Amino acid sequence: MSDQLQVLNPATEEVIATVPAATAADVDAAVARASKAQSAWAALAPGERARMLRRFAVAVDEHLEELARLEVREAGHTVGNARWEAGNVRDLLDYAAGGVERLTGRQIPVPGGLNITILEPLGVVGVIAPWNFPMPIAAWGTAPALAAGNAVILKPAETTPLTALRLAELALEAGLPEGVFQVLPGHGPVAGNALVEHPGVAKIVFTGSTAVGKQVWAKGSALLKRVTLELGGKSPNIVFADADLEAAAAAAPMSFLDNSGQDCCARTRILVQRSAYDRFLDLLAPAIEAVTVGDPADEKTDMGPLISKSQLERVRSYVDQGAEGIRGKAPEGPGFWFPPTVLTGVDAHARVAVEEVFGPVAVVLPFEDEAEAVALANATDYGLSGSIWTRDVGRALRVSQAVRAGNLSVNSHSSVRYWTPFGGFKQSGIGRELGPDALTAFTETKNVFISTESTEGPAQ
């Protein structure tokens, strides 16, 4: 295995950077630095730690366009999406900073004394970030972990290390102490595995495939290491006949084409009530065909390339060229391009209907009634997100309760906000990220009882 990571522009296939790949020895040295820095970081007055994180947020904001353009080049994200991602890092740092001084324990009534709980940082946290959203998902783990008083070692994906490295530079420029936030690009089986198996790392936050997530959990369990896993998805987009079909069809394309479908929340199973099926497809076809696929640096582009040749080949393997459906257009020539694709006439148990494709491909499946819609929605190993389109408030509530997924939207496709919790059911993950409880996921609860009973002896 090479000791260098080549970073390609997925829109052109050109090498844009070469980055040293961390070894297991590099991870060991980084953990030692992090352990030393963490105790001083945790000992800072809460207000001071919060101020440093806010300065970090300001630095990100001042370099937002630079970070966005870097994301366009290394990940192929559209420039609009990339700006949102850099802004999400900024906002999450600000949000986490606001929690530092609110990370409080409790006073619990007990007889004979006073009982309090104290939330203490875990120590060193390893964050293993994916290539599909390199900046924001890295911040999901990093920002609350730092706010809670931990040191963080971030291992970005092999294909997208550049924005993570730049964020580490900005953190130092903003005044974060050396060793508190380190970035170690490297291969998953080497640097990632070393982080997971290192006894000095108290927790791993991993976002990626379910298969690799299971390995992370199994290896971490040998040390009783805490883990948060955000894994795969095969999310439903349920459209009832009483819905606003025009709105549902207009919103459907970007619910699975955003980031070229490389999104664990992508609504790739479009479930449509049979009585509205034909009308919905008539509305959906022009919406798919209107999606502009091309240069991600162009402000007018809706969808860019896939991340790599291997990902392109994976997506192709799911789509029979003779299959019925709706297809958009994509560029030809250099770059990892695949057109927006909606398949119809697909068996509900086909690979493309049940497995995570992680590309711009969706299937449309008909259903008869509410019970069948719920059964189809739940007929998957995953349970991350989903959408429900209906004008019936009672139905919206019933179906929301019946669908086994961690994040649902009614008459929209919203899934992730940094101030609300995010995570999945079943094989979509373990634990929750973001939201008001994000910091507590990076703490230990210590219980302290203080006796108030007199210890004085008898009066003399």
Active site annotation includes 62: no
Contacts of 138 (CB under 8 A, 6+ apart): 89, 127, 129, 154, 156, 164, 167
317-340 as b/e: b if 16+ CB within 10 A: ebbeeebebbbbebeeeebbbbbb
Q: Determine contact, residues 366/272, Cβ cutoff 8 Å.
A: yes
The active-site residue, picked from 85, 155, 225, 433, is: 155
Active site residue 355: no
Catalytic residue among 230, 234, 265, 426: 230
Is 155 catalytic? The answer is yes
Q: Which of 225, 356, 426, 433 is catalytic?
A: 356
Look up 203 and say whether it is catalytic.
Answer: no
Q: Is the dihedral of CA 28, 181, 155, 200 positive or negative?
A: positive
Distances (CA, A) of 89 to 63, 94, 178, 240, 254: 11, 9, 20, 36, 22
CA distance 257 to 339: 10
The tens place of each residue's pLDDT in the chain, 460 residues long, gives: 458 999 999 999 999 999 999 999 999 999 999 999 999 999 999 999 999 999 999 999 999 999 999 999 999 999 999 999 999 999 999 999 999 999 999 999 999 999 999 999 999 999 999 999 999 999 999 999 999 999 999 999 999 999 999 999 999 999 999 999 999 999 999 999 999 999 999 999 999 999 999 999 999 999 999 999 999 999 999 999 999 999 999 999 999 999 999 999 999 999 999 999 999 999 999 999 999 999 999 999 999 999 999 999 999 999 987 789 999 999 999 999 999 999 999 999 999 999 999 999 999 999 999 999 999 999 999 999 999 999 999 999 999 999 999 999 999 998 799 999 999 999 999 999 999 999 999 999 999 999 999 766 555 5
What does the alpha-carbon distance between residue 305 and residue 294 come to, in Å, rounded to a whole number? 7
Q: 225, 264, 265, 426: which one is catalytic?
A: 264
Backbone angles phi, psi at 135, to 5 degrees: -80, -60
What DSSP line would sit under 114-170, residue for residue? EEEEEEEE-SEEEEE--SSSHHHHHHHHHHHHHHTT-EEEEE--TT--HHHHHHHHH
- What per-residue confidence (pLDDT) applies to 432? 97
Sequence-distant (≥ 6) Cβ neighbours of residue 219 within 8 angstroms: 193, 196, 197
Q: How many CA atoms lie within 13 A of 323 on its CB side?
A: 22
